[in-house]
Structure 1
């Protein structure tokens, strides 16, 4: 255990202990067909391993996530279908050093409202050519804006149905959790579910652990 990071004290032991809980399999994500995290955790990383990952990514990891890797595990059991291991060689991970800006989602939404629509163009060959030209330009800009939504983040987990959980690594939102819900056209939104509130990595993980402990140890007949 590393020194001075009491927020994670005993957390690894609490997670692993849930493998013996009577209802552990009822916790969402613990079992998923032949997969699921099954309350297993990868080994913790060393300070040197984390530092090397940061150099490859090009950014210092937020404190709560960084100390989690050092004190709890390098991936495994966690919210939804569990935590991805840190993979700094992934080209997407290397985008974590780029600026993260929450307003990108609103910018994309504003651009979507400008989508060229056939009804606004005439039937002549000239008008149809203009429609195709302007739509192609609009589509290129849409792709650019969509790609920037996850700049400055690490994808730390999968929620299912094409949703993912992101950790902001740069910018004013550094250290906060975000939901990548582009699969349903909603962009990247705060994990707290409101635009005003924010959830840090430790709050996100510890809230899940408290839920998992209740679910895994409470008989169905005694649940609210």
Structure 2
């Protein structure tokens, strides 16, 4: 018998860790992305001229399973569904169609890290959570010399000027999108409940003809 491929994640993920409407959400996002790519003229949204709303081929289930096993994590269902059905990476300098300069490949997950990456980093809980106020973010998040403040996060998108959008994979804010911040106040969580809400909000801004996304 030939080698079996991994089953689609929605057939193997427990009910407690999935959204029943996720296939419909993914289909809607894919439709809006196609509409954005067909807009006439030059892109007006900041950063879109880097990727021009093009995205690379979706990852196979096997490739995602290999990544998850290597790093000891399970990707949030909506992000996992996106990269295995809508697309992954792309032609831009920083990846494919997505907010700011585009979505990174998952292999570029370590962009936000201040120290050297290792395969255990994504499984370590991210210390920040929505609503928490810091007197000095870096001092509290990494009190030890070898502590990595952005542990537990996967880089999503480059905003320019060393600012990044990240997806929290481990810790109390798992599944949320957060933005790096060099100041003492700490990372900024977006208003979105998950990756797909963040991505679709960007698409809505693109289709409305807006020039900036926040």
TM-score over 0.5 for the alignment?
A: yes
Deviation at 1:154, TM superposition (A): 0.4
The count of residues paired between Structure 1 and Structure 2 equals: 177
Name 2:127's counterpart in structure 1: 101
Correspondence for 1:43 among 45, 53, 57: 57
Measure how far apart 1:10 and its partner are.
4.3
Residues 1:201 and 2:200 aligned together:
no
Partner of 1:120: none
Match status 1:6 vs 2:24: yes
SS state of the match for residue 80, structure 2?
helix
Separation in 2, partners of 1:208, 1:214: 10
Q: In the aligned structure 2, how far is the partner of 1:40 from the partner of 1:50?
A: 21
**In 1, are the aligned partners of 2:135 and 2:184 still within 8 Å (CA)?**
no
Does residue 83 of structure 1 match 2:94? no
Shift of residue 156, structure 1, vs aligned partner: 0.8
Assess if the C-alpha contact under 8 Å between 1:96 and 1:153 holds in 2. yes
Q: For 1:201 and 1:19, how far apart are their aligned partners in 2?
A: 20
Deviation at 1:11, TM superposition (A): 2.7
Following TM superposition, by how much is the alpha carbon of 1:57 offset from its aligned partner in structure 2, in angstroms? 1.7
Shift of 1:46: 1.0
Q: Secondary structure in 2 aligned to 1:154?
A: strand
Within a 5 Å distance, the mapping from 1:69-148 to structure 2 comes to 69-75=83-89, 76-87=96-107, 91=117, 94-102=120-128, 106=134, 108-109=136-137, 111=139, 141=143, 148=148
- Which deviations, in whole Å up to 9, do the C-alpha atoms of 1:191-217 show, x marking residues without a partner? 23xxxxx5311110000011111218x
Contact 2:70 2:119 in 1 (8 A): no
Alpha-carbon distance in structure 1 between the residues aligned to 2:109 and 2:159: 23
Partner of 1:164: 164
**Residues 1:63 and 2:77 are matched in the alignment:** yes
**Larger C-alpha radius of gyration, 1 or 2?**
1
CA distance in 2, matches of 1:51, 1:97: 15
Gap runs ≥5 in structure 2: 1-7, 11-21, 90-95, 111-116
Q: Could you say what the CA RMSD is over the residues aligned between the two structures, in angstroms?
A: 3.0
Q: Match of 2:200, SS?
A: helix
TM-score, scaled to structure 2:
0.71
Higher helix share: 1
Q: State whether residues 100 and 153 of structure 1, in contact with CA within 8 Å, keep that contact through their aligned partners in structure 2.
A: yes
Q: Secondary structure at the match of 2:167?
A: strand
Which ranges of 4 or more aligned residues in structure 1 deviate by more than 6 Å?
none
Task: Report the alpha carbon displacement of residue 23 of structure 1 after superposing the two structures with TM.
Answer: 4.3
State the Cα distance separating 1:17 from its structure 2 match: 3.7
Cα 1:151/1:24, change in 2 over 3 Å: same
Is the contact made by 1:80 and 1:157 (CA closer than 8 Å) also made in structure 2?
A: yes
TM-score (norm 1): 0.68
Could you list the per-position Cα deviations for residues 39-84 of structure 1 after superposition, in whole angstroms to 9, with x for gaps in the alignment? 1101001111111111112100011111011111112101111100
